[in-house]
């Protein structure tokens, strides 16, 4: 099933890798990785593997680091061409890897299947987890997949501290091609966002062995908080959609935040402010952006120069009044005038009473609606401060 690439040839490649390339071989930059095309010898077998993989159950995986769909571990697949592929990876190919790389691998191999669709992504990370020694990705994408489709495997260069700096190489997924690399403290990589309607199907996982020593964690110097800006009352109401100034609406938002740990405030800014800010950010050629990193911790641009609406927006979001509003909406004490805790807002506390019949104690709490009204009564302090 798996093409038996010449072991001695790849062993010499691994010992003396080329600097760069997209075709067959071992390459050194930005860190050592191997590309092995035509991994499955028989075209019909390849098609059967793809068909069986697409029939598996996939579950959504989504957080701040990634968004894609993944199957369960393929160790649970016990028949068909996928089972044969898995057994080849566990045995013959694992032995081939040991011979080529000289890395001692044990019998543990993690294998699963992933589907990346439009807008799916996996951000910068190093794959380091206890026991992972070699990471691999086997592509089963469309024959016509190009860089314009996105979904590239991006490899990062690192600085003297071992932090990722920038993308040094993009590997375009190619059907029936296997890519692997040694998991190290600098094996930073990502899957770029899929930009087309094609599905990026792949089999991936890790071969396990003894972990490499990890350097001590380098702590970054914390940034110093800035003093909140002071805005005039009329400026405040010019910016915020008036519906969010309603104390009862703020109470409802806080309940949602307490239950879900997140809030999304649609049309938060007034329409004229939104329009002016969008035009300033999207149409101005004068704004210079500075990338903030390292990309495994943060990846965004900061404007090195600003215009009037951008400066006013910054002042608005860093104002005392904004901190008070967020305190209302989250229940977090972000300003000295905000209540310290829920207990500070409640008029009554749990009371214990004897149950004469059973001898047990029961707790009675204030009515939920009354508690909410009391809390909302406290929240009018923001409007009082403004008025």
Share of the chain above pLDDT 70, in %: 86
Per-residue exposure over 187-222, b if at least 16 CB sit within 10 Å of its own CB, e if not? bbbbbbbbeeebbbbbbbbbbbbeeeeeeeeeeeee
CA distances from 246 to 237, 249, 267 (A): 12, 5, 15
Span 138-159, average pLDDT = 97
The pLDDT assigned to 232 comes to 65
Predicted confidence (pLDDT) per residue in 200-233, tens digit? 999 999 999 998 888 888 888 877 777 777 766 6
Assess whether pLDDT exceeds 90 at residue 55: yes
Least confident of 6-10, 316-320, 382-386: 382-386
Supply the DSSP symbol for 90. Answer: I
Query: Which has more pLDDT, 232 or 197?
Result: 197
Q: Please provide residue 72's backbone torsions phi and psi, each rounded to the nearest 5 degrees.
A: -70, 170
Confidence band of 309 (pLDDT split at 50, 70, 90): confident
Work out the pLDDT band at 355, boundaries 50, 70, 90.
very low
Q: Where does residue 88 rank: exposed (0-12), middle (13-18), buried (19+ CB within 10 A)?
A: middle
- Give yes or no for residue 239 having a pLDDT over 90: no
Question: Worst-scoring range by mean pLDDT, 203-217, 269-283, 372-386?
Answer: 372-386
Q: What angle do CA 59, 63, 69 make, to 5 degrees?
A: 25
Q: Which pLDDT value is given to residue 341?
A: 58
Chain segment 75-122, per-residue pLDDT in tens: 999 999 999 999 999 999 999 999 999 999 999 999 999 999 999 999
**158-179: pLDDT as tens digits:** 999 999 999 999 999 999 999 9
Mean pLDDT along residues 181-201: 97
Computed over every residue of the chain, the mean pLDDT equals: 85
Tokens 């469309």 found at: 142
The torsion defined by the Cα of 238, 241, 246 and 251, in degrees rounded to 10, comes to -130
Q: Where are the alpha helices (DSSP H) in the chain?
A: 7-15, 43-54, 80-88, 94-101, 233-239, 247-260, 271-283, 308-317, 320-330, 342-345, 368-379, 381-386
* Mean local confidence (pLDDT), 21-27: 90
Distance CA 80, CA 67 (A): 29
Asked whether the beta carbons of 193 and 53 are under 8 A apart, the reply is no
Cβ contact 109:205 at 8 Å? yes
Residue 367 clears pLDDT 70, i.e. is over it? no
Enumerate domains of the chain plus CATH numbers: 7-209 (2.60.120.620), 233-386 (2.60.120.620)
pLDDT at 387: 44
Tokens matching residue 144: 């016509």
């Amino acid at each position: 099933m798996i093409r038996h690439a010449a072991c001695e040839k790849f062993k010499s490649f691994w010992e003396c890798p080329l600097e760069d390339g997209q075709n067959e071989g071992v390459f050194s930059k930005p860190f050592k990785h191997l590309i092995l095309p035509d991994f499955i010898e028989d075209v019909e077998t390849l098609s059967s593997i793809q068909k069986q993989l697409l029939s598996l159950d996939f579950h959504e995986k989504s957080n701040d680091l990634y968004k894609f769909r993944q199957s369960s571990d393929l160790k649970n697949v016990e028949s068909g061409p996928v089972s044969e592929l898995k057994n080849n990876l566990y045995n013959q190919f694992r032995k081939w890897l040991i011979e080529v790389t000289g890395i001692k691998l044990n019998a543990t191999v993690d294998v699963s299947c992933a589907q990346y669709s439009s807008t799916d992504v996996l951000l910068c990370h190093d794959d380091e987890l206890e026991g992972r020694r070699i990471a691999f990705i086997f592509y089963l994408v469309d024959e016509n997949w190009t860089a314009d489709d996105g979904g590239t495997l991006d490899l990062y260069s690192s600085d003297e501290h071992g932090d990722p700096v920038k993308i040094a190489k993009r590997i375009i997924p190619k059907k029936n091609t296997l890519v692997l690399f040694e998991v190290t403290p600098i094996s930073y990589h990502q899957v770029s966002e899929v930009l087309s309607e094609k599905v990026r199907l792949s089999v991936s996982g890790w071969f396990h062995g003894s972990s490499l020593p990890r350097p001590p964690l380098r702590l970054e110097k914390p940034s110093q908080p800035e003093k909140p800006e002071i805005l005039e009352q009329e400026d405040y109401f010019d910016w915020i959609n008036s519906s969010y100034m309603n104390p009862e609406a703020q109470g409802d938002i806080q309940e949602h935040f307490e239950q879900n740990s997140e809030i999304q405030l649609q049309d938060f800014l007034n329409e004229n402010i939104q329009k002016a800010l969008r035009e300033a950010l999207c149409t101005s050629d004068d704004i210079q952006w500075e990338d903030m990193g390292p990309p495994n911790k943060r990846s965004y641009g900061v404007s090195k120069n600003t215009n009037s609406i951008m400066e006013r927006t910054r002042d608005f979001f860093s104002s005392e009044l904004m901190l008070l509003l967020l305190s209302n909406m989250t229940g977090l004490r972000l300003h000295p005038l905000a209540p310290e805790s829920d207990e500070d807002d409640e008029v009554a506390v749990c009371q214990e009473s004897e149950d004469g019949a059973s001898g047990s104690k029961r707790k009675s709490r204030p009515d939920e609606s009354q508690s909410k009204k009391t809390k909302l009564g406290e929240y009018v302090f923001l409007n009082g401060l403004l008025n």
